[in-house]
Structure 1
Amino acid sequence: MKQLLEFVPIALFFIVYQLDGETLAIGGWSHVVDGIYTATAVLIAATAVQVVVASYLARRLDKRSAWTLLAVAVFGGATLILRDQTFIQWKPTIFNWALALAFTAFHFIGDRNLMERTLGAQLQLPKAVWTRLNVLWIANFAIVGALNLWVAYGFSEATWVSYKLYSAIGFTLLLTVLTAVLVSPHLKHAETSSGDSR
């Protein structure tokens, strides 16, 4: 449910961008869609609503969601104020590279990496698996950040907007599958071990 909610702002960004030049009318309010700028304003508002709804459902504020909202507000705000789409195009790269840096730093700080600190209460995994998971997530964040810049600078703005939507879904699914592949053999082992101890 939480991951589905995270896609809503990106989907709305994509949909509103496609309405460039159209007039949106809600109640007595109307606005002519101004491409990337209207889409960015919708992204900021939708991300804020998504964070509030997700926090309400979880009964706590998710730190990653809060950081996402901050990044969207800062880079989206700069895009709107300066009328320069470069800021919103750089947001995914900076956010992903910051996560890659954090996961890398915590790999060397303390006795548990960031994956183990985050999921260690729910999963019991060997140290080598925690390390592989951490490296997988670092690679994901680094690659996603680099590809975002490649598309932003190598292709049209419209292509980048489409890429933003489809890559968010695609990379999330791929990361989920790869994480499950790494973790699932150890879950079966843990279930067998707990069954043998009865």
Structure 2
Amino acid sequence: MKQLLEMLPIVLFFIAYQMDGEQLLFGDWTYTFNGIYSATAVLMLSTVAMLPIIYAINRKLEKRLIWTSIAVLAFGGATLLFKNELFIQWKPTVFNWAMALVFAGSHFFGEKNLIERLMGSQLQLPDAIWRRINWLWVTHFTVVGTLNIVVAYTFSEATWVSYKLYSSIGFTLLLMILTAALMGPHLKQNVAPENGE
């Protein structure tokens, strides 16, 4: 449920972008969608609106979600203020590269890397597996950030907007599948003694 809520602002961003030139009527007031700028405003508003809903469901907000929201507001605000779409196009790259640095840096500070700190209370895995998963996430964030900026500078704005939606869903699913594949064999080992096998 939380994952779907987190994807909702990106979906709404995509929909708002597709409505370029369309008009909404609110009584005597008319709003005309203005491409990337309207989409950015929708992204910002929906990101902020999603926070209390997620808090109501989970009774907490993850730091990653808070930092994502701050990045959306900062880069989105700059996009609207300066009327320059490059700010919002750079947001996924800057955020993903920052996440890659944080996850990579966690290998060198403390006894546990970041992925083990996040999930270690729920799962018991060998240290080597935690390290592999953490490096998988570092690779994921690095690749996703790099591909985002390549698409932003190589293709049209419309292509980048579509890429942002579909790549967010696709790369998230791929990361979850690869993470589960690394964990899977070790989860069976953890469960086996409890089942008397």
TM-score (norm 2): 0.97
Q: CA deviation at 1:51?
A: 1.6
Aligned-partner SS, 1:84: coil
The residue that corresponds to 2:192 in the other structure is 192
SS of 2:130's equivalent in the other structure is helix
Q: CA deviation at 1:50?
A: 1.3
Moved over 3 A (4+): 26-29
Aligned to 2:112: 112
- 1:134 and 1:122 map into 2 onto residues whose CA distance is 16
Change beyond 3 A, Cα 1:184–1:31: same
The share of aligned pairs that are identical, in percent, is 57
Query: Greater CA deviation, 50-59 or 131-140?
Result: 50-59
Specify the alignment match of 2:70 in structure 1: 70
Residues 157 and 193 of structure 1: CA distance in aligned 2, closer, same or farther (over 3 Å)? same
Partner of 2:181: 181
Q: Give the length in aligned residue pairs.
A: 197
Bigger Cα displacement from structure 2, 133-142 vs 56-65: 56-65
Q: TM-score, normalised by structure 1?
A: 0.96
Is this contact kept in 2: 1:55–1:61, CA < 8 A? yes
Partner of 2:57: 57
On the 8 A contact 1:25/1:31 being kept in 2, the answer is yes
1:95-174 equivalent positions in 2, closer than 5 A: 95-174=95-174
How big is the alpha-carbon RMSD for the aligned residues of Structure 1 and Structure 2?
Answer: 1.2
- For 1:20, what is the secondary structure of its paired residue? coil
Q: Secondary structure at the match of 1:61?
A: coil
Gap runs ≥5 in structure 1: none
Distance in structure 1 (CA, Å) of the matches to 2:122 and 2:34: 46
- Structure 1 residue 27: deviation in Å? 5.3
Cα 1:50–1:27 change in 2 (3 A) is farther
Amino acid at match of 1:67: W
Gaps of 5+ in 2: none
Contact 1:55 1:62 in 2 (8 A): no
